[in-house]
């Protein structure tokens, strides 16, 4: 049994950032990342200005950000009936499309540079959260099993987190089952100022975001009615059909002068899937453990919440874990409360968006009013971009301005 102060399960953005912050604070940190090397998996790439700002706070330098992030002027939301509106997120700083093949390894390198030990290809197979202290069983790349005792275990291993299961806090999302598909196409349009797009269709939507390296990221979310088609035709065929039906829109990603360039852009990686797409937890921390990133709860990618929540939870989680390690007995419970305060209103907004999406007439009604009413649209962009408290979108005066005829 090897003793460590902090064991981080998962080396994605949330885990890597948490490890880096704790190592900088002088703690002994080990990160277990199951993949031996980075590979494409279903994940978000579009991020608001608040995410970029938070990454800077966490220590990511401007040179790295410039390499892994492509500025995007705005997000265009498109309804099935053709209503379109642009979310500019305040206009003072653009959102970005991230190259996750550059961002994720850079964050792990930052953790190593801060002094954390990163074990790639190490799969955590068992976690015990006993009163005597957390312990882990880890399958190494050589197929040996190593055992660790930690003072704090941090789960950063996504929606199917082994830490949340060990703590018995994992619960299904209160939404109908959905499937997520993501991949990249060659950006044959090459428009450096193209908007990102969120195109809504029957029982689903597709997000299109330009990213560095001459690529466009495609993220598709499909409701229950698509299950039979996915089983019969496969994810790639369904994705091709959906992309082919996206209309040409001047100034937006995937709409070059020659429409065929978008339709026939080469697929650059496999179509990665995620199901179930959302999940929730009853608690985000307990005696000797906490969870960050998607492991701490994830509702839906429509509002672009994933990466921002990963960074904020890493900041709050590292601060709480450090305080607990230095003898503050209430620090981990305080983290749970802080996360609830920070994201409770945004969760309600995200849930309401899903309610509207499941009712096409209601979504169309709201979209037309957002498109026609600039103050309503500007506030929506600020809320979606995590630039103002999400409670603004729940204010009765705002809801009245949005929904009145």
- Rounded distance between C-alpha atoms, residue 101 and residue 297, angstroms: 24
Residue 260's pLDDT is: 47
pLDDT in tens, 352-404: 888 898 899 999 999 999 999 999 999 999 998 888 999 999 999 999 999 99
- Rounded distance between C-alpha atoms, residue 217 and residue 208, angstroms: 6
Q: Is the dihedral of CA 229, 234, 235, 237 positive or negative?
A: negative
The model's pTM is: 0.92
Residue 295's pLDDT band (cuts 50, 70, 90): very high
Q: Is the dihedral of CA 156, 159, 161, 166 positive or negative?
A: positive
- Please give the domain boundaries of the chain with CATH numbers for all domains: 2-70+95-175+277-349 (3.50.50.60), 179-274 (3.30.9)
Q: According to DSSP H, which parts of 211-305 are helical? A: 227-233, 235-244, 259-263
Residue 253's pLDDT is: 64
């Amino acid at each position: 049994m090897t003793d460590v102060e902090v064991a981080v399960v998962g080396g994605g953005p949330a885990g890597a950032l948490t490890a880096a912050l704790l190592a900088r604070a002088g703690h002994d940190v080990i990160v277990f990342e199951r993949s031996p090397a980075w590979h494409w998996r279903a994940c978000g790439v579009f991020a608001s200005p608040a995410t970029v700002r938070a990454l800077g706070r966490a220590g990511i330098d401007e040179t790295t950000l410039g390499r892994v992030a492509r500025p995007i002027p705005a997000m265009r939301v498109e309804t099935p009936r053709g209503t379109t509106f642009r979310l500019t997120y305040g206009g003072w700083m653009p959102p970005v499309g991230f190259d996750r093949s550059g961002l994720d390894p850079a964050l792990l390198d930052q953790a190593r540079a801060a002094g954390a030990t990163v074990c790639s290809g190490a799969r955590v197979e068992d976690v015990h959260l006993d009163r005597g202290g957390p312990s882990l069983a880890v399958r190494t790349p050589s197929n040996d099993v190593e055992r660790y005792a930690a003072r704090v275990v941090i789960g950063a291993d996504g929606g199917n987190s082994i830490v949340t299961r060990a703590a018995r806090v994992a619960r299904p999302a209160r939404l109908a089952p959905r499937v997520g598909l993501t991949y990249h196409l060659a950006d044959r349009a090459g428009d450096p100022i193209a908007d990102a797009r969120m195109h809504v269709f029957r029982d689903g939507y597709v997000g299109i975001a330009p990213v560095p390296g001459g690529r466009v990221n495609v993220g598709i979310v499909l409701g229950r009615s698509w299950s039979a088609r996915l089983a019969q035709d496969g994810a790639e065929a369904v994705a091709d059909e959906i992309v082919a039906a996206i209309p040409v829109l001047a100034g937006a990603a995937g709409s070059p002068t020659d429409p065929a360039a978008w339709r026939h852009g080469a697929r650059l990686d496999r179509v990665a899937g995620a199901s179930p797409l959302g999940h929730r937890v009853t608690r985000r921390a307990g005696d000797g453990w906490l969870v960050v990133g998607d492991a701490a709860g994830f509702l839906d990618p429509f509002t672009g919440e994933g990466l921002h929540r990963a960074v904020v939870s890493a900041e709050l989680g590292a601060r709480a874990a450090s305080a607990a390690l230095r003898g503050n007995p209430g620090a981990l419970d305080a983290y749970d409360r802080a996360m609830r305060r920070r994201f409770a209103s945004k969760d309600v907004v995200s849930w309401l968006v899903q309610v509207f999406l499941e009712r096409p007439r209601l979504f169309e009604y709201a979209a037309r009013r957002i498109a026609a009413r600039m103050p309503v649209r500007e506030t929506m962009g600020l809320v979606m971009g995590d630039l103002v408290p999400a409670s603004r979108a729940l204010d009765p005066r705002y809801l009245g301005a949005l929904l009145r005829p």
